[in-house]
């Protein structure tokens, strides 16, 4: 990029003599806190997962991989894992399929666009816990206002117990999950769309391309990096998300809506099976790390060009 200014004089003389220890001193306090609050638990989980732990949290000695063996022979672990996969894939796929057209519409000029933006971003502003509490009441099997509405409109004749049966409850939770993930994903896409070169659209218009052609041949390829980032970030967030399922059904009825995080939370704080919970935490940490590394790779790929110029 030729347009960038050459490094100035101060960068050469003062900045370097100055930038030895001082910048390190500026980042260290925060780094210590983060290392401590994040590093200690990781180390502790790794240690605990290899220990035999009593119901009261006392470590009773080295147990090798017994906790992991126990986890892998637990049918509830496998069913939670399976449901975590369904939950993640459905929420992320649903979110992306809805968010891209929404972002494309919000990127264009129409009457009331500002209002539409505020409304669509609204779920982001509210904590997942509160959203889940309100939906739990909305979906109340007897007096919930969703039943009231559907009965008034004549879609159903009898109230439906939305959260009493696992399959239906899980489906509803996935839909709520999609709803709360749309704002963030739409935001990423809006960022991508705002950097689209307008000329290619105009040129393709001259060539007689339809809007569908434009979408397939211009928008989609240019949006690919943003779609990748949206997928990875959403997978990370959704895979880890406890509040919706925890507040709406607590993983019930009969563990029928448990995903790994809710199962892990129950093992740790309800059933006192710390060794097993630590083992699951570590497994999840590994998965999270893998996706995080993928994310870092995606981001640094997108960010390299300007960065290299700036840092020489």
Q: How many residues bind another protein (CB under 8 A)?
A: 111
End-to-end CA, the chain: 12
CB atoms near residue 236 (< 10 Å): 18
Site residues for another protein, 58-97, by CB under 8 A, read none
**Contact flag: residue 253 with another protein (CB under 8 A):** no
The alpha-carbon radius of gyration of the chain (Å, integer) is 25
Judged by CB under 8 A, the stretch of 10-18, 69-77, 164-172, 213-221 that binds another protein is 10-18
**Contact flag: residue 16 with another protein (CB under 8 A):** yes
Give the nearer residue to another protein in terms of CB position, either 167 or 195. Answer: 195
CB of 119 to another protein, least distance (A): 5
- Selected from 110, 154, 206, 208, the binder of another protein by CB under 8 A is 110
**Contact flag: residue 102 with another protein (CB under 8 A):** yes
Residue 109 tokens read as: 């000029």
| DSSP labels, the chain | -TTSPPP-HHHHTHHHHHTTTHHHHHHHHHHHHHIIIIIHHHHHHHHHHTEEE-TTS-EEEE-TTHHHHHHHT-HHHHHHHHHHHHHHHHHHHHHHHHHHHHHHHHTS--TTHHHHHHHHHHHHHS-HHHHHHHHHHHT-TTT-HHHHHHHHHTS-SS---TTTSHHHHHHHHHHHHHHHHHHHHHHHHHHHHHTS-HHHHHHHHHTT--HHHHIIIIIHHHHHHHHHHHHHHHHHHHHT--HHHHHHTTT-STTTT--HHHHHHHHHHTS--HHHHHHHHHHHHHHHHHHHHHHHHHHHHHHHHHHHHHH-
Site residues for another protein, 201-220, by CB under 8 A, read none
- Selected from 89, 129, 205, 271, the binder of another protein by CB under 8 A is 129
**Contact flag: residue 121 with another protein (CB under 8 A):** yes
Say if residues 134 and 144 touch (Cβ distance below 8 Å).
no
**Contact flag: residue 30 with another protein (CB under 8 A):** yes
**Contact flag: residue 302 with another protein (CB under 8 A):** yes
Say if residues 19 and 311 touch (Cβ distance below 8 Å).
no
**Contact flag: residue 264 with another protein (CB under 8 A):** yes
- Selected from 200, 204, 240, 255, the binder of another protein by CB under 8 A is 240
CB of 179 to another protein, least distance (A): 6
**Contact flag: residue 293 with another protein (CB under 8 A):** yes
CB of 164 to another protein, least distance (A): 15
CB of 77 to another protein, least distance (A): 15
- Selected from 62, 82, 269, 271, the binder of another protein by CB under 8 A is 269
**Contact flag: residue 179 with another protein (CB under 8 A):** yes
Judged by CB under 8 A, the stretch of 69-77, 81-89, 113-121, 215-223 that binds another protein is 113-121
**Contact flag: residue 222 with another protein (CB under 8 A):** no
CB of 165 to another protein, least distance (A): 19
CB of 287 to another protein, least distance (A): 9
């Amino acid at each position: 990029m030729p347009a960038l200014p050459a490094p100035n004089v101060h960068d050469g003389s003062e900045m370097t003599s100055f930038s030895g220890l001082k910048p390190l001193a500026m980042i260290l306090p925060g780094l210590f806190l983060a290392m401590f609050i994040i590093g200690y638990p990781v180390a502790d989980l790794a240690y605990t997962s290899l220990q035999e732990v009593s119901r009261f949290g006392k470590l009773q000695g080295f147990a090798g991989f017994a906790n992991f063996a126990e986890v892998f022979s637990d049918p509830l672990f496998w069913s939670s894992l399976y449901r975590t996969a369904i939950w993640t894939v459905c929420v992320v796929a649903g979110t992306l399929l809805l968010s891209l057209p929404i972002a494309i519409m919000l990127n264009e000029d129409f009457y009331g666009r500002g209002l539409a933006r505020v409304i669509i971003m609204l779920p982001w502003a509210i904590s997942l816990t509160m959203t889940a509490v309100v939906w739990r009441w909305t979906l109340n099997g007897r007096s919930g206002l969703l039943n009231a509405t559907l009965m008034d409109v004549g879609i159903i004749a009898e109230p439906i117990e939305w959260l009493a049966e696992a399959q239906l409850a899980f489906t509803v939770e996935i839909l709520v999950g999609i709803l709360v993930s749309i704002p963030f994903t739409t935001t990423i896409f809006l960022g991508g769309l705002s950097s689209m070169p307008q000329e290619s659209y105009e040129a393709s218009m001259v060539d007689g391309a339809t809007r569908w052609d434009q979408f397939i041949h211009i928008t989609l390829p240019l949006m690919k990096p943003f779609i990748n980032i949206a997928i990875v970030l959403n997978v990370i967030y959704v895979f880890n998300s406890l509040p919706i399922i925890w507040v709406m059904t607590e993983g019930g009825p009969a563990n029928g809506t448990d995903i790994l995080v809710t199962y892990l939370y129950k093992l740790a704080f309800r059933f006192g099976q710390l060794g097993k919970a630590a083992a699951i935490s570590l497994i999840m940490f590994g998965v999270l790390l893998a996706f995080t590394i993928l994310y870092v790779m995606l981001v640094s790929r997108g960010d390299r060009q300007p960065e290299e110029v700036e840092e020489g």
